Amino acid sequence: MSQAGFEEIAGRAVRASELIEEIIQLDELLMLHKQHDAHAYEMQQYLDRRSGFAEELNRLLNPHHLRVVFEG
């Protein structure tokens, strides 16, 4: 594999890691909002962002026949 190929793979791995970190942070925010009885419309922005990150993560994983499934 060429150097460019390795760099592309490394870039995708870094992006996947960043997406996972973003999803974890959003999950923590959602948990805090639930603990403080936030309204659904206040939490929807976080749910939408989480969904977008999950879709992007699955697009990165799809060529490797992998997929992340989110509960709840």
- Could you read off the pLDDT tens digit of each residue along the chain, which spans 72 residues? 788 788 988 999 999 999 999 999 999 999 999 899 888 888 899 999 999 999 999 999 999 999 999 886
Tell me the CA distances in angstroms from 12 to 8, 22, 32, 58, one per residue in order.
6, 15, 30, 12
For residue 62, the tally of other CB atoms under 10 A from its CB is: 10
What global pTM score does this model have?
0.84
Q: Which of 27, 25, 16 is nearest to 59 (CA)?
A: 16
The domains of the chain are located at: 3-64
